[in-house]
């Protein structure tokens, strides 16, 4: 308790004890010791202090409900500024429990006691208990307050600069953490797409550098070790590791690009030498071409063309589009030929999260037409497929084992579509 003048004013420097069975804790002693120091010149805007305290509440061990009670106490103080002085130092509010509960969004009396104790233990509020534990004031003949019993808000003014500095620190840490998370997200995206580009890149790699498979395994290990709720140190460590991986993949891509340029220049030089040689007569070239055609059987002359013809004749394009109509939504100007279907499949592939390596492997095993039909069928069943890349790899292995055929897949899609039209029609 603090008084305004006279001998009673000397009691301002004395530490007061709480009412009843409540003991005097170290936090209460520290708060009263700070509040008893000369306070002239200390001014703080109460809502600004509350805003900073909300930001730094975790550092003070306060809950959001505790801050609601503190806000209710601040509303009981008419002045907006917290400005204790040596002549009139008290910033004591004395609301009843009913009034405080109404201002604190209807908290129960038990909850009020719990949150008020938390504020006292945090050293943000001082109890100024009366002899009987009630909250009230005594006024002099001129109406001035001579005795005030309730909750003293002086520590908020005294510690305003400390609270503001801690709030700034919390905001800076939150911003740094947000930037670190953004960096990790960007690096994960860059590494994934750089690895996809490395899988299909032409040229030869540096013998001393890791292989594409090793780099991808390294990336998968980093992503798998990333916790769902990482600590700041874990985010920073992952960012550094992904940065190093991105640099390694970038070096591998640049080396392949340079080796490709060197190879292209050598090939151009060789073509120049060949063109400078003496050309044979037309009749001699024609006879040699004829010998090549006669000497190679037709069945072995172009196996790729034979496979293309078999797929196209077995599964007509209009039949495929009838079973898989959604693929036409992604075509640039409609699907009128097999080339249009294969081009559209190449465009859909990254949308479904299928890597370039998995797509190339499927085309090698199935053929371009069959792979495009498979992708169109997967698009129809996209909602029931969790991992399109893994599903396509499984179908590729089944194709190599001779256990995968397009016929049953297209028939199942047609039946499903017919049944849906019957139900909705």
**Are 154 and 178 part of one and the same domain?**
no
pLDDT at 290: 40
Q: Residues 153, 224: one domain?
A: no
- Give the integer Cα–Cα distance in Å for 418 and 399: 28
Q: What is the pLDDT of residue 332?
A: 84
Instruction: Please check whether residue 291 lies inside any domain of the structure.
Output: no
Q: Is 150 within a domain?
A: yes
Which residues of the chain carry a pLDDT beneath 70?
A: 1-15, 17-41, 85-90, 132, 143, 145-146, 203-205, 260-309, 423-425
Query: What pLDDT, on a 0 to 100 scale, did the predictor assign at position 22?
Result: 63
Q: Give the chain's domain count.
A: 3
Domain boundary among 158, 190, 215: 158
Question: What is the residue-averaged pLDDT of the chain?
Answer: 78
Same domain, 119 and 53: yes
Shared-domain flag, residues 143 and 177:
no
Residue 137 forms part of a structural domain = yes
Q: What is the pLDDT of residue 312?
A: 80
Question: 123 and 97: one domain?
Answer: yes
Q: What's the pLDDT tens digit per position in 66-100?
A: 999 999 999 988 888 888 765 555 688 888 888 88
| Residue 289 counted as domain residue | no
3-state secondary structure the chain: CCCCCHHHHHHHHCCCCCCCCCCCCHHHHHHHHHHCCCCCCCCEEHHHHHHHHHHCCCCCCCCHHHHHHHHHHHHCCCCCEECCCCCCCCCEECCCHHHHHHHCCCCCHHHHHHHHHHHHHCCCCEEECCCCCCCEEEECCCCCEEEEEEEECHHHHHCHHHHHHHHHHHHHHHHHHHHHHHHHHHHHHHHHHHHHHHHHCCCCCCCCCCCHHHHHHHHHHHHHCCCCCCCHHHHHHHHHHHHHHHHHHHHHHHHHHHHHHHHHHHHHHHHHHHHHCCCCCHHHHHHHHHHHHHHCCHHHHCHHHHHHHHHHHHCCHHHHHHHCHHHHHHCCCCCCCHHHHHHHHHHHHHHCCCCHHHHHHHHHHHCHHHHHHHHHHHHHCHHHCCCHHHHHHHHHHHHHCCCCCHHHHHHHHHHHHHHHHHHHC
Q: Are 389 and 354 in contact (CB under 8 A)?
A: yes
Same domain, 349 and 385: yes
The answer to whether residue 166 is domain-embedded is: no
Residues 16 and 127 in one domain: yes
pLDDT digits (tens, 9 = 90+) for 10-49: 444 566 766 555 666 666 666 666 655 555 567 889 999 9
d(CA 172, CA 167): 9
The reply to whether 10 and 154 lie within a common domain is: yes
Instruction: Indicate if 312 and 415 belong to the same structural domain.
Output: yes
What is the per-residue pLDDT for 247?
A: 92
**Angle between helices 64-75 and 109-121 in degrees, nearest 10:** 90
Q: 287 with 250: CB under 8 angstroms?
A: no
- Which residue segment(s) compose the domain that 358 sits in? 304-424
Domain-located, residue 190: yes
Beta carbons within 8 Å of 88's beta carbon, 6+ residues apart: 4
Does residue 142 sit in the same domain as residue 185? Answer: no
- The answer to whether residues 11 and 119 belong to one domain is yes
Please give the pLDDT value at position 306.
Answer: 53
What is the C-alpha separation between 122 and 28, in angstroms, rounded? 8
213 in a structural domain = yes
Q: Is residue 290 part of a domain?
A: no
The predicted pLDDT at position 53 comes to 93
The pLDDT score that the predictor gives to residue 265 is 46
């Amino acid at each position: 308790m603090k008084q305004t003048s006279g001998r009673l004013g000397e009691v301002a420097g004395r530490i007061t004890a709480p009412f009843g069975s409540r003991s005097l804790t170290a936090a209460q002693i520290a708060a009263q010791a700070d509040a008893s120091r000369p306070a002239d010149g200390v001014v703080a805007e109460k809502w600004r202090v509350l805003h900073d305290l909300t930001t730094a509440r975790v550092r003070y061990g306060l809950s959001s409900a505790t801050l609601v009670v503190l806000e209710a106490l601040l509303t009981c103080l008419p002045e907006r500024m917290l400005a204790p002085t040596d002549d009139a130092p008290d910033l004591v509010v004395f609301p009843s429990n009913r009034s405080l509960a109404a201002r604190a969004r209807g908290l129960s009396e038990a909850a009020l006691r719990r949150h008020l104790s938390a504020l006292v233990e945090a050293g943000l509020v001082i109890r100024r208990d009366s002899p009987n534990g009630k909250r009230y004031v005594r006024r002099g003949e001129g109406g001035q307050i001579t005795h005030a019993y309730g909750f003293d808000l002086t520590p908020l003014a005294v510690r305003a600069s400390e609270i503001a500095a801690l709030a700034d620190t919390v905001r800076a840490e939150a911003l740094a953490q947000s930037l670190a998370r953004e960096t990790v997200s960007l690096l994960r995206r860059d590494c994934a797409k750089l690895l996809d580009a490395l899988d299909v890149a032409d040229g030869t790699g540096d013998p001393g550098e890791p292989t594409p498979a090793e780099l991808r395994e390294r990336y998968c290990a980093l992503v798998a070790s990333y916790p769902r709720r990482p600590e700041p140190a874990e985010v920073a460590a992952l960012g550094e590791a992904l940065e190093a991986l991105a640099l390694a993949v970038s070096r591998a891509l640049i080396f392949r690009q340079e080796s490709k340029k060197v190879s292209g220049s050598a090939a151009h030089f060789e073509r120049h030498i060949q063109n400078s040689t003496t050309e044979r007569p037309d009749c001699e070239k024609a006879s040699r071409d004829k010998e090549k055609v006669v000497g190679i059987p037709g069945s072995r002359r172009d196996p790729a063309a034979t496979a293309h013809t078999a797929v196209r004749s077995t599964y007509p394009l209009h039949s495929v589009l009838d079973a898989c109509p959604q693929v036409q939504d992604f075509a640039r100007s409609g699907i009128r030929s097999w080339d249009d279907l294969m081009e559209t499949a190449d465009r859909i592939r990254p949308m479904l999260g299928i890597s370039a390596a998995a797509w190339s492997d499927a085309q090698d095993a199935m053929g371009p037409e069959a792979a495009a039909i498979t992708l169109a069928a997967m698009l129809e069943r996209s909602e029931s497929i969790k991992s399109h890349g893994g599903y396509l790899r499984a179908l590729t292995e089944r194709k190599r084992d001779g256990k995968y055929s397009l016929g049953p897949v297209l028939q199942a899609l047609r039946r499903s579509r017919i049944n849906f039209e019957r139900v909705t029609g």
